[in-house]
Every structure is written in structure tokens, then in C-alpha cells.
């Protein structure tokens, strides 16, 4: 475990001829503040993808490897190893990448690598236009993360575009930052389930691993009410009289595989449906229960038609 008290320092400089930014958080040892451990990240200015680093330091030198967690033994097998010495306000040394070695010169800076340098450079590039009965969804890709997302185009009113495009900008930017912060495994896809005069409803599917014991994967549902210009958070606000758990239980419990139902407890009680993911379609509502991480294989897609929802 790292000590609780630490401090951060940012550097700007070069690896060989390549400009980079580095930020490390320093955790001094309790009994000897001239040595301790470090963790942080660096990125090439041309790529902006954060590469995690961790390491140790003493009076003489700093060692960093491309890993979230450092042990001295990892230095021998690491793909990237920084060997640096501190000279006044600079770190000077080498970066070994497999069999190659590059000179490193880094200088302390008060600039925040992410907030001041990286994030202002993120930008959206127009890709394509998809039409839904006269309404355009314009797809953009963030240049550095390569993540796509749509915006509202022709066929939507100015008020609709002015309301929801900034929201989509913010979602897109947040996802792009997350991907750039996670250079291990970050996949995202979308299902556009409804576009009509009243609603836009889509699902975002993600599969992410950024270090730690387990990957993370799941779904996020977004629904925009084009009439009220609101983001719809709860499906119950559209169908206040419907008990969704009871409707699903009546429809699906008898058809569930006994083993799966016993293990997943899908309809034992409504605990896994309190924070369900949902989406509108032209025919009805898609619903996905929310399980703890260890039980995410239990997640499945369920459907209730509008006729079923309005039936007493």
C-alpha cells in the first residue's frame, strides 16, 4: 500500500526527438523522505494517449516502468523503462523501449498536462450523415481517441439542436478523455433504437480494461424528449402507472431457464431492477437489469411492447 500523503509534479520535454508530457505523484517513505514510490502517466504530444507509469526513487535516481503497479522485479520484464537522474529542475536519462534506447530531457512545469495541454486539443471531425425519415444524425469522430458519436442535424428544430447537441458534445468529450486515459483496452459501440418526432433513444455499450483485477463492461441508456427538451432519466416518468418489475416477471419468469434464474435471481425481487438500463424503440421498451460487477454475465435484454404496458 502506498502512503496516503503525496505530491504531484509535471514535466515537459522530449524522448529522443518526440515531445512528451509526464506527471508523477510522489509518495515519500515515512522513515526516509529522500526515497519512496511514484505513480503517474506520460503521453506523446502527437498522440495524447496516457501511458501509465510507476516506480521508485532515491537520492540518486528515478526508475519508472510502463505499469500501474511497481515492484523492482518488474523492471527486467517491462516494455518501457525510464532511468532518470534529477539535476536541479530537470530529469535527464534514458527511456528503454524493448531493445531501443532514447535520450530523455524533462523540465519541471506548472502546466497541467491534461487540463492545460491535452484536453483543449481534443476536436470532433465530421464523418457521415444518417437520415431517419427526414431527420439527420450527423456522426463525428474525436480525432485522437477515434471515438464516434452523433449530433442532431437538419430535420430537428433549432431549439432541439441547441439543447441536445451540447449534451452530446459533453458525453463525447468525457468518453474521449476516458479512452485516452486508458491505453489498455477501451471499446464502445452504439444502438440507435428510436428517432421520431418525440424522442431520440440510444444505448451505449462499453467494454473497458484500465488495469486492476477485472475488466468493466455494460450499457448506458440515453433518451431525449424532443417535445419537452429534457433528458429522460427514468422510464417511470413516461409510464407512471406501470410496475415494470411486475410486468417483466409476469411475462418472463415462467420462460426463464431454471438454472439461470436461480443463479441470477432475476425475478426473485426487484433489487436488480432498481437501477435498470432502458431504451425506447418504435414497438416498445428495452430493459436491462443492473447487477454487481461479479454478476454482470447475468445481464440480459428484456422487452415490453407498448400494448403490454398499456394493458391493465
* 233-270 pLDDT per residue, tens: 999 999 999 999 999 999 998 876 555 556 788 998 89
> Are 105 and 92 contacting, i.e. CB atoms less than 8 angstroms apart?
yes
Predicted pLDDT of residue 259: 53
Using the Cα atoms of residue 67, residue 70, residue 71 and residue 75 in order, give the sign of their dihedral. positive
> What are the residue ranges in the chain where pLDDT is below 70?
1-5, 212-213, 256-262, 312
Predicted pLDDT of residue 261: 58
DSSP string over 163-186:
HHHHHHHHHHHHHHHHHHT--SEE
Predicted pLDDT of residue 298: 87
Predicted pLDDT of residue 3: 45
Q: How far is CA 302 from the centre of its chain?
A: 25
Q: Which of 268, 161, 283, 149 minimizes the C-alpha distance to 220?
A: 149
> Are 270 and 245 contacting, i.e. CB atoms less than 8 angstroms apart?
yes
> Are 206 and 187 contacting, i.e. CB atoms less than 8 angstroms apart?
yes
SS3 103: strand
Rounded Cα–Cα distance for residues 279 and 303 (Å): 10
Instruction: DSSP letter for 242, please.
Output: -
To which residue does cell 409476469 refer? 250
Predicted pLDDT of residue 1: 44
Locate the domains of the chain by residue range: 7-117
Rounded Cα–Cα distance for residues 22 and 138 (Å): 36
Instruction: Determine which helix (DSSP H) or strand (DSSP E) holds 88, and give its type and residue range.
Output: none
Choices 3.30.2010.30, 2.30.30.60, 1.10.3720.10, 2.40.128.120: CATH for 7-117: 2.40.128.120
Query: 294: Cβ–Cβ under 8 A, 6 or more apart, which residues?
Result: none
Residues in the chain: 312
Instruction: Determine which helix (DSSP H) or strand (DSSP E) holds 247, and give its type and residue range.
Output: helix 244-252
* pTM (two decimals): 0.91
> Are 54 and 62 contacting, i.e. CB atoms less than 8 angstroms apart?
no
Predicted pLDDT of residue 258: 57
Amino acid at each position: 500500500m502506498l502512503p496516503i500523503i503525496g505530491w504531484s509534479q509535471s514535466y515537459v520535454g522530449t524522448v529522443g526527438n518526440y515531445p512528451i508530457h509526464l506527471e508523477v505523484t510522489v509518495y515519500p517513505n515515512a522513515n526516509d523522505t529522500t526515497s519512496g514510490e511514484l505513480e503517474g502517466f506520460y503521453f506523446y504530444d502527437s498522440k495524447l494517449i496516457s501511458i501509465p507509469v510507476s516506480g521508485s526513487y532515491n537520492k540518486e535516481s528515478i526508475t519508472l516502468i510502463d505499469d500501474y503497479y511497481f515492484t523492482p522485479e518488474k523492471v527486467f520484464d517491462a516494455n518501457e523503462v525510464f532511468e532518470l537522474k534529477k539535476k536541479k529542475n530537470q530529469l535527464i536519462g534514458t527511456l528503454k523501449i524493448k531493445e531501443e534506447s532514447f535520450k530523455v530531457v524533462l523540465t519541471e512545469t506548472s502546466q497541467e498536462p491534461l487540463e492545460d495541454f491535452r484536453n483543449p486539443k481534443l476536436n470532433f471531425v465530421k464523418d457521415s450523415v444518417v437520415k431517419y425519415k427526414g431527420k439527420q444524425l450527423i456522426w463525428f469522430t474525436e480525432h485522437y481517441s477515434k471515438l464516434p458519436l452523433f449530433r442532431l442535424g437538419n430535420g430537428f428544430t433549432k431549439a432541439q439542436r441547441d439543447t441536445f447537441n451540447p449534451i452530446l458534445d459533453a458525453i463525447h468529450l468525457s468518453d474521449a478523455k476516458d479512452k485516452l486515459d486508458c491505453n489498455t483496452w477501451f471499446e464502445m459501440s452504439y444502438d440507435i433504437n428510436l428517432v421520431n418526432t418525440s424522442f431520440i433513444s440510444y444505448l451505449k455499450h462499453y467494454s473497458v480494461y484500465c488495469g486492476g483485477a477485472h475488466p468493466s463492461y455494460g450499457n448506458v441508456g440515453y433518451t431525449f424528449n424532443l417535445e419537452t427538451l429534457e433528458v429522460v432519466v427514468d422510464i417511470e416518468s413516461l409510464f407512471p402507472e406501470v410496475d415494470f418489475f411486475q410486468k417483466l416477471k409476469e411475462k418472463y419468469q415462467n420462460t426463464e431457464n431454471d438454472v439461470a434464474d436461480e443463479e441470477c435471481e432475476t425475478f426473485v425481487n426487484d433489487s436488480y431492477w432498481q437501477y435498470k438500463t432502458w431504451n425506447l424503440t418504435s414497438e416498445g421498451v428495452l430493459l436491462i437489469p443492473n447487477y454487481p460487477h461479479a454478476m454482470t454475465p447475468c445481464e440480459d435484454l428484456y422487452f415490453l411492447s407498448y400494448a403490454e404496458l398499456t394493458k391493465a
